[in-house]
C-alpha cells in the first residue's frame, strides 16, 4: 500500500509568496523570498525592490537546505557554530544560515521557504509569515 502525501500547489506557492511579501512590505524589508518543493526545486520567487542581487541565490539555497534536510536551515548554522565545522563539507547543502524554514504538513516536509536580505531572524520570521498563509 502506498502512502498519500500532501504537496504544494501553485495556489499554495502564490499564497506563501503574497503573505511573506506583505510581511516584508509591512516592515520595509528589501528581501528575496523563495519557495521550493520537498526536493529543493524552485516553485516561485520574489525579489523585492532594493534587495541585493546575491540575496536571490542565498534565499534559494536556504529554501533547498530546509526542504532537503526537513528542518530549519538555522539548525545547520548552529551545528557549525558549535564547532562541527566538518559539516561544511556536507553535499548539496549550501544555505546553512538562518532564514530557511521547512513546510511540515502531517509529518511530511512538502517544501520550504527561504528568505534573504535582512537579519537572519527577520528572514526566518518572513518565511514563517508566508507559511502561515497555508497552514
Gap between the Cα atoms of 97 and 80, Å rounded = 10
Q: Where are the domains of the chain?
A: 10-131
Contacting residues for 14 by C-beta, under 8 A, at least 6 apart: 44
2-57 confidence digits (pLDDT tens): 888 999 999 999 999 999 999 999 999 999 999 999 999 999 999 999 999 999 99
- Model confidence at 93, pLDDT cuts 50, 70, 90, reads confident
Residue 87 has pLDDT above 90, yes or no: no
State yes or no: pLDDT of 1 exceeds 90: no
Any idea which fold 10-131 has?
Answer: Beta-Lactamase (3.30.450)
1's CB contacts (< 8 A; 6+ apart) are none
Amino acid at each position: 500500500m502506498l502512502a498519500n502525501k500532501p504537496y504544494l500547489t501553485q495556489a499554495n506557492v502564490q499564497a506563501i509568496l503574497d503573505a511573506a511579501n506583505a510581511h516584508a512590505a509591512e516592515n520595509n524589508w528589501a528581501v528575496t523570498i523563495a519557495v521550493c518543493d520537498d526536493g529543493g526545486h524552485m516553485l516561485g520567487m520574489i525579489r523585492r525592490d532594493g534587495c541585493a542581487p546575491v540575496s536571490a541565490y542565498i534565499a534559494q539555497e536556504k529554501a533547498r537546505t530546509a526542504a532537503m534536510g526537513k528542518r530549519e536551515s538555522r539548525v545547520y548554522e548552529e551545528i557549525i557554530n558549535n564547532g562541527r565545522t566538518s559539516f561544511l563539507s556536507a553535499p548539496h547543502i549550501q544555505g546553512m544560515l538562518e532564514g530557511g524554514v521547512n513546510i511540515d504538513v502531517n509529518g511530511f516536509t512538502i517544501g520550504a521557504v527561504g528568505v534573504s536580505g535582512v537579519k537572519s531572524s527577520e528572514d526566518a520570521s518572513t518565511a514563517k509569515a508566508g507559511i502561515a498563509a497555508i497552514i
